[in-house]
Amino acid sequence: MLIFLAALAAAAAPQAAPANRPVSPAVVAPSPERRQQLLFDAARLGRTDMIDPLLKAGADINAYDDRGFTPLILAAYNGQAATVDVLIATGADACRPDRDQGNTAQMGVAFKGEDAVAARLLKAGCDVNARNNAGQTALMMASLFNRTRQVDMLLAAGANRSIQDAAGRSASSVAADQGNAPMAARVKH
């Protein structure tokens, strides 16, 4: 953690070297790859104070990490509501899905149960019926994981109850398959 904080500080505010000691260029100006990794770490850890300096230093707000996630997806998935706000305000694409599965940040917060982040993402104006590579929607995921509050938010935002995924399942049948009759009834079309 200390190394991470030191790298963040170096990326944000490079300092002059004492006259008798040269400073490594990696400390004064981290490589583009390192700046990008620091942005991913800052998003995941909720270090909103580091977002702007890292962006000004050249980090890409919509880049994918080695697992296929954007900084916004990492912040959302980890419940970093204030960081989600900062990322969206500074140009993060709230609608950009992950690289491999096509899951959006909205789908990720349905899995994790991050209601405050879910509400912020809904305000970003993304398609509430966006589908991942398996044809699943955020409503399906919220019903699968019994996220009643998110289900209600998604329905109020216009989520379509009748969409079926690639396997022919709807939000209602996903909940029913989990033995959750109240949720299945709540999202039945």
Calculate the CA dihedral of residues 152, 140, 147, 172 and round it to 10 degrees: 80
Domain residue ranges of the chain, discontinuous segments joined by +: 1-10+31-126, 128-189
Q: Give which of 125, 74, 122, 123 is closest to 98, Cα–Cα.
A: 74
Global pTM reads 0.84
54: tokens are: 């890292």
Which pLDDT score, from 0 to 100, does residue 29 have?
A: 67
3-state secondary structure of 58: coil
Rounded CA gap, 40 and 63, in Å? 9
Superfamily of structural domain 1-10+31-126: Ankyrin repeat-containing domain (1.25.40.20)
What is the sign of the dihedral through the CA atoms of 113, 115, 121 and 127?
positive
Which CATH number describes the domain made up of 128-189?
Answer: 1.25.40.20
Q: What is the pLDDT of residues 12-58, one digit of tens each?
A: 443 444 455 543 444 446 899 999 999 999 999 999 999 999 999 99
Q: What is the pLDDT of residues 83-139, one digit of tens each?
A: 999 999 999 999 999 999 999 999 999 999 999 999 999 999 999 999 999 999 999
Asked if residues 40 and 54 have their Cβ atoms less than 8 Å apart, the reply is no
For the stretch 111-134, what's the b/e string if a residue is b when 16 or more beta carbons lie within 10 angstroms of its beta carbon? ebebbebbebbbeeebebebbbee
